[in-house]
Amino acid sequence: MNLMDLLQGQISDEMLGQLSNHIGATPEQTAQATNGVFATLIGGLANNASTESGLASLGSALDRDHDGSIIDDIFGMVGGMMQDGPTQSKATNGSGILGHILGDRQEVAAQQIGQSSGLNASQIMKLMPILAPIVMGMLGKAKNSGGLDLGGLSSILTGSAQHAQQQSGMGDLIGSVLGQVLGGSQAKSSQQGGGLLGGLLGGIFGK
């Protein structure tokens, strides 16, 4: 099971068009930015789940607020968020989710994702709160449908981050987080190599 592929499969051409109109960008720019946001959030979740306490907190949050039901009407959810703005539901509280995953590094992430896609940080900041609930909803759905325990949840996140690293333009982005999660040398080599999204998560998490 790969979270990145599942997330990308949720973004239809029609939804991409709506997101593009919402942030004032071309569909091509929005698609690239969307992939960058998904990769960043997967990496951030993998980073957070690399500690026992972080993994336990994530599991509790999924059980409590993110059962995956929003994925059943993802188009309606996204449309509602673009029209109505902030919501009180924790399942669709994009700003709150971003705060848990990225903390105070959201603007750093937005700036660097923007640079990679030709957009400005304010456009990315409008996109991120819409996409964040999709990530948590998909992860919650995967956890419930697969009957995953915390170990299985951790494996999915790590594996998904590795997969995103292998995708074109995502190696530097995810590698910097995987270096911390897996204790390998991927982060160092990725940051030295530069690239489309090079060093993004290194900057986000202060590595």
Please count the structural domains in the chain.
1
Instruction: Say if 175 falls within a structural domain.
Output: no
Q: Which residues of 7-18 are buried (b: 16+ CB within 10 A; e: fewer)?
A: beebbeeebeeb
Residue 131: predicted pLDDT:
95
Residue 183: predicted pLDDT:
44
Instruction: Say if 53 falls within a structural domain.
Output: yes
Residue 103: predicted pLDDT:
84
Instruction: Say if 206 falls within a structural domain.
Output: no
41: containing domain: 3-149
Pick out the chain residues at pLDDT < 50: 168, 177-207
Instruction: Say if 34 falls within a structural domain.
Output: yes
Instruction: Say if 200 falls within a structural domain.
Output: no
Instruction: Say if 157 falls within a structural domain.
Output: no
Instruction: Say if 61 falls within a structural domain.
Output: yes
Instruction: Say if 128 falls within a structural domain.
Output: yes
**0.85 exceeded by pTM:** no
At 87-119, the pLDDT tens digits run 558 888 899 999 988 888 888 888 888 887 889
